[in-house]
Amino acid sequence: MENIGEIDEGFYSRQLYVLGHEAMQRMGTASVLIAGMRGLGVEIAKNVILSGVKSVTVQDEGRTEWTDLSSQFFLRESHLGQNRATCSLQQLSALNPHVRVSAHTGPLDEDLLLQFEVVVLTDSSLGDQKRFGELCHSHGIKFIVADTKGLCGQLFCDFGEAFEVLDQNGEMPASAMIQNISKGNPGVVVCTDDQKHGFSDGTKVSFSEIQGMTELNSIDPVEITVRGLHSFSIGDTSAFSKYERGGVVTEVKQPCMLNFALLNHELLKMNDFGKIIRHKTLHLAFQALHSFVKKEQRLPGVRSQVSEEALLATVRELNAVAQLEQLDEDAVRNLSFTAQGDLAPMNAFIGGLAAQEVIKACSRKFMPLQQWLYFDALECLPQDDQLGESSFSAVCTRYDGQIAVFGSAFQEKLERQKYFLVGAGAIGCELLKNFALIGLGAGEGGQITVTDMDFIERSNLNRQFLFRSQDIGKPKSEIAAKAVREMNPQVNITAHQNRLDADSEGVYGYDFFTGLDGVAAALDNVEARVYLDGRCIQHQKPMLEGGTLGSKCHTLVVVPHLTESYGPAKSSSNNAIPLCTLKNFPHRIEHTLQWARDQFEGLFKQTPENVNLFLRDAGFVEFLGGVWGSLEAMRTGGQRPANWEDCVSWARCKWETLYNNEIRQLLHCFPADQVTSTGLPFWSGSKRCPHPLTFDPNNTTHMEYVVAAANLYGQIYGIKGTTDVASIRKILEKVHIPSFTPKSSVKIHVTDEEMQEDKKRGSDDAARLEELKGKLASPSLKSSAMQMYPMDFEKDDDTNFHMDYIVAASNLRAENYDIPAADRHQSKRIAGRIIPAIATTTAAVAGLMCLELYKVVLGHKNISSYRTAYINLAVQYFVLSQPSRPHCDFLCGSEVPGMPSSLCTKTVVFSQLLSVNLVSKSVCTFLYHFSFLSSQICWPKHYVARAAWNIGYTQ
């Protein structure tokens, strides 16, 4: 972003839906310094560079050591002894062509820091933190401290004495349609009951489009008091005009000012099951750790009781002043034992959080951390640790930083693991990075199998950091696997391009799953997660699952016999837009965009597919009207164009039908002054009264529709079009627009129920059906017809006219109904069903998933060791809790969701027979393979496997 205001939307596509254009423009002016290029520093730098600031300078005086390779993914063994910042520079620079990246190998000083808007310290001393923190605070430079030691991490922010947050949560402003407004003090606003208004007490709102009480349309934002899910009060309206109908109320976001102090003791509690006040202990423990390092010039010895006692003594001294209600001495001991550790998953999580704070500092969007945050995953440590000190000693390998925490025996176990990763997108790339660094599947007998059927697109590069511009068009899984081998040549990884579903069970069948140690899900849809979850249940394999939505993320670990599974898909039918709303009564831009998407699918995909099916299959008679019209030439009454001029004519006539004729017909059936049987206005509440449009060739949106529609229509017939508006205008001058008169015989359904009732009663189109059959039976028609070229909607290609059509069609429809139009960016997100995404959240969720991986590989049996996480980086919301136990227990006779009750009962009986050895394990194996039980009752493999799993049979 060399020029302020210019944003590469193709590159930043998914992130723009998280931050927005204005925040991205502010970021494009910021220069950031990141000090320390060990694992945590490079993680922060990677995320910040991908986010799109103006420039990033990485600073480090140190030289690469073996322990750095445990988590610094841009360092190689060939870099040992060389400067870390210099060795990382090329890889960091390649992440984002819009960000200037440079390296500084000298010490930190005042002159250097004053060049930046944001300064981040990692792996720093307490003295440097205080000295540089004071300097930054006095000069208005945003200052961030981040650190990890073994399984513990800390984060600190100081954004100055007057930091303005423009958008505290990043959510779209809530809005609702108005049903009624009373005159009174206070006046009460009642919203339509099709959705909750979503406001909270104290929210400020503005009004628009109100008829009657028009004074509200022009007043400043007013503060509300919520009275119910669909109502709120707004103050005195007694002097206003009487409310008639219509209107929209919209939240108006208010900025807030924050005052940060210098290294104060305000701690943010991360809500973690079983760690209610541990963050206070860690605050003291990290201070004690700094004192230890200053005195001894080293970190505490690995598993050293002498170091542990010294650190604990210092913490007790600090607590004599702090007077904590409860000091967690076990946490202090474990921090001492593991402080020399350097773990990739910890750096991924803290690095994701720290980079998000940098983004907040640069963009002034989202609520920043105020001011300290501590996180630990000490529950990862072995539960029955009997290993001696020597097992944790450094041996000059790339895993020394991890061996210092878990020991060499665990490292060997990690290297023997066989894991299946489904998905090589954003989370998949981050997981593979962590897998390579921790050595998963990197030893004899170890293996990682990754599958992803997608190919790399430009919009992926902003968060799927293993890919570069030269990789566009190549398979994700292959390029990701190649990148992983470069990070760690020891990793054994195989890349597939298969979709994981029933069709691929020949590849991922019984033998494949039984050979695995575990599965990781990096998927982007619920259906695929549910399917993979079912396969893991069937084959009794643990599963790591995570997902993101903008700044929000979640993780779930599924452990056989111990935790609940992902579970069946939840019905989303409640969120479906009623057909009648789409067809006749839209009132939100989401409705017009869905209508435009349906138009695209029907005109340019389904109809051509139906024609091609008819040409291949003589017995095909569905959609006969559309098929005949698309086969018959325009000159004889059909819709098949002979040339480009015909395509333009079709587009112009289609415009007239959709935006004039159909609206006139609707108003003929339901005039603007129509009242219901109860005497209320028909066009009120969520029903917006439309108005027809008149085509104007000088109107930009009108012409954009014609240009896009004509080109798309030409493409499905193999006719080349043009974007020359002047030439298209000349063609339009000759187009004949048929006259239209609304008909009283036309019935328009007001509800979906009416529509369904009419369908049940059947139609009287039998004669028309026979007529079309006769026309289509003509041998000459079929022999002279040519194949058509259906289109699959592709939102990210700006040259294919797909989004051009959607945006124009939707906004014209919105104009019909006086709905505020949406720009291309917003339209692409809604119509393309794009999931907002940002690298920081992706890194954090992958780090949490790999912390659970440690526990799974260690074989933790206590459910309290595991964590389910729900996090929102935008508002510092962190909830980590113990997973739930499995919903069904076969031995107790409870039913399995989705399983017939009779089968559930028989599964319980079968489980009990197995548990008392009345049915041998060889019989169980026979039943599993042949899915058959005596008494001629068929038993699906899935249920037999779960019954066996329930009693601990793992054959």
Banded pLDDT at 943 (limits 50, 70, 90): very low
Look at residue 914 and tell me if it is in a domain: no
Which pLDDT score is estimated for 425? 94
Residues 791 and 687 in one domain: yes
Q: Which residues contact 733 (CB under 8 A, 6 or more apart)?
A: none
Residue 517 has pLDDT above 60, yes or no: yes
pLDDT of residue 3: 46
Residue (of 680, 658, 668, 537) closest to 603 by Cα position? 658
Q: Are residues 718 and 599 in the same domain?
A: yes
Q: Across 151-155, 192-196, 875-879, which has the greatest mean pLDDT?
A: 151-155
209, 257 Cβ separation under 8 angstroms: no
Whether pLDDT at 262 is above 90: no
Q: Which residues are bridge partners to 870 per DSSP?
A: 554, 879
Q: Is the pLDDT of residue 611 over 60?
A: yes
Do 180 and 160 reside in the same domain of the chain?
Answer: no
pLDDT for the residue numbered 773: 58
* Closest by CA position to 427, among listed 516, 270, 535, 544: 544
What digits encode the pLDDT tens for the residues 29-45?
Answer: 999 999 999 999 999 99
Whether 944 has a pLDDT exceeding 50, the answer reads no
Q: Which amino acid is at 806?
A: I
pLDDT value of position 646? 94
Q: At what angle do helices 839-858 and 408-415 cross, to 10 degrees?
A: 110
Would you state the pLDDT for residue 921? 43
Is pLDDT at 388 greater than 80 in this prediction? no
Residue 316 lies in a domain: no
Distance CA 930, CA 199 (A): 57
User: Is residue 624 pLDDT above 60, yes or no?
Assistant: no
Looking at residue 901, what is its pLDDT?
41
CA distance 53 to 1: 8
Would you please indicate which residues are annotated as catalytic (active-site) residues?
580
Q: What is the pLDDT of residue 575?
A: 59
> What are the tens digits of pLDDT across the range 145-159?
999 999 999 999 999
User: What does the pLDDT average to over 395-422?
Assistant: 95
**Single-letter amino acid, residue 389:** E
489 shares a domain with 432: yes
* Mean of per-residue pLDDT scores for the chain: 86
- The mean pLDDT of 621-630, rounded to a whole number, is 51
The answer to whether residue 906 is domain-embedded is: no
Can you give the pLDDT at residue 386? 52
The tens digit of pLDDT for each residue in 415-431 reads 999 999 999 999 999 99
- Residue 674 makes CB contacts below 8 A (sequence gap 6+) with 681, 682, 683
Average pLDDT over residues 528-549: 93
- Predicted pLDDT of residue 747: 87
Choose the weakest-confidence range: 126-130, 692-696, 876-880. 876-880
pLDDT tens per residue, range 317-344 = 999 998 988 899 999 999 999 999 999 9
Q: In this model, does residue 385 exceed pLDDT 80?
A: no
Return the pLDDT at 144.
97
Cβ neighbours, 10 Å, residue 908: 21
Q: Match 């001991």 to its residue by tokens.
A: 333
Q: What is the mean pLDDT of residues 775-783?
A: 55
Claim to verify: residue 786 and residue 676 sit in the same structural domain: yes
Task: Report the range of poorest mean pLDDT among 239-248, 427-436, 619-628.
Answer: 619-628
In this prediction, residue 185 has a pLDDT band, given cuts at 50, 70 and 90, of very high
Together in a domain, 161 and 184? no
Write the DSSP assignment of 913-953 as a string of letters.
HHHTTSS-HHHHHHHHHH-EETTTEE--HHHHHHHHHHTT-
pLDDT in tens, 720-747: 999 999 999 999 999 999 999 999 988 8
Q: Residues of the chain with pLDDT > 90: what percent? A: 65
Q: Kind and range of the H or E element at 419?
A: strand 418-422
DSSP for 311-362 reads HHHHHHHHHHHH--S---HHHHHHHHHHTT---HHHHHHHHHHHHHHHHHHH
CB 545 within 8 A of CB 556: yes
Q: Which amino acid, one-letter code, is at 550?
A: G
If one counts the domains in the chain, the total is 4
| pLDDT at 774 (0 to 100) | 57
**Residue 532 DSSP SS3:** helix
Question: Residue 437's pLDDT is what?
Answer: 98
Average pLDDT value for residue range 918-926: 43
**CA geometry: angle 226, 230, 234, nearest 5 deg:** 40
At position 878, the amino acid (one-letter code) is F
Residue at 866 is within a domain? yes
Domain residues for the domain of 602 are 587-818
Helices (H), 832-884: 839-858
pLDDT at 632 over 70: no
Instruction: Please report which confidence band the pLDDT of residue 432 belongs to, taking 50, 70 and 90 as the band edges.
Output: very high
CATH code assigned at 31: 3.40.50.720
The answer on 620 and 694 residing in a single domain is: yes
Q: Are residues 195 and 88 in the same domain?
A: no
| Closest to 72 measured CA to CA, from 299, 400, 425, 361 | 400
Please say if the pLDDT value at position 636 is more than 70. Answer: no
Q: Of 379, 408, 427, which marks where a domain is finished?
A: 379
Mean pLDDT value across residues 199-221: 91
* Tens of pLDDT, residues 466-510: 999 999 999 999 999 999 999 999 999 999 999 999 999 999 999
Of 195, 221, 252, which residue sits at a domain end?
A: 252
Which CATH number characterizes residue 185's domain? 2.40.30.180
pLDDT in tens, 651-677: 999 999 999 999 999 999 999 999 888
For residue 687, the domain's CATH number is 1.10.10.2660
Smallest CA-to-CA distance from 195 within 175, 172, 169 is with 175
Range with lowest mean pLDDT among 365-369, 805-809, 829-833: 829-833
> What DSSP state is assigned to residue 195?
S
Q: Which residue has the higher pLDDT, 818 or 390?
A: 818
Q: Considering the domain boundaries, does residue 861 fall inside one? A: yes
Whether residues 77 and 186 share a domain: the answer is no
For residues 94 and 146, membership in a common domain is answered with yes
Taking residue 664's Cβ as centre, other Cβ atoms within 10 Å add up to 15
* Average pLDDT of span 786-793: 84
pLDDT at 917 over 90: no
- Residue 479 resides in a domain: yes
**What is the C-alpha to C-alpha distance for residues 490 and 680, in angstroms, rounded to an integer?**
74
Environment class of 179 (CB within 10 Å of its CB; exposed 0-12, middle 13-18, buried 19+): buried
CA separation for the pair 869, 887 (Å, rounded): 19
Q: Same domain for 501 and 650?
A: no
If DSSP codes are grouped into helix, strand and coil, which group holds residue 518?
A: strand
Q: Rounded mean pLDDT of 6-18?
A: 90
Domain annotation covers residue 314:
no
Q: Which has the closest alpha carbon to 611: 767, 784, 774, 765?
A: 784
Amino acid at 926: F
Tell whether the model's pLDDT for residue 775 goes beyond 90.
no
Are the beta carbons of 658 and 805 closer than 8 angstroms?
no
Confidence of residue 582 (pLDDT cuts 50, 70, 90): confident
Q: Does 516 lie in the same domain as 565?
A: yes
- C-alpha 54/C-alpha 817 separation (Å) is 42
- The answer to whether 446 and 416 have CB atoms below 8 angstroms apart is yes
Hey, CA dihedral for 157, 162, 163, 167, is it positive or negative?
A: positive
Considering only residues 141 and 275, tell me which one the structure prediction assigns the higher pLDDT. 141
Euclidean distance between CA atoms 333 and 303, whole angstroms: 9
Of 313-317, 322-326, 365-369, 543-547, the least confident: 322-326
Looking at residue 931, its pLDDT comes to: 38
Which region among 369-383, 503-517, 769-783, 832-846 has the lowest average model confidence (pLDDT)? 769-783
% of the chain at pLDDT higher than 70: 84
Task: Name which of 454-458, 647-651, 808-812, 928-932 the model is least confident about.
Answer: 928-932
Taken in order 17, 48, 422, 945, the sign of the CA dihedral is negative
Lowest mean pLDDT among 91-105, 402-416, 678-692, 913-927: 913-927
* Whether the Cβ atoms of residue 39 and residue 71 lie closer than 8 Å to each other: yes
Answer yes or no: is 813 within a domain. Answer: yes
Question: Which of 766, 787, 818 is the last residue in one of the domains?
Answer: 818
Length of the chain: 955
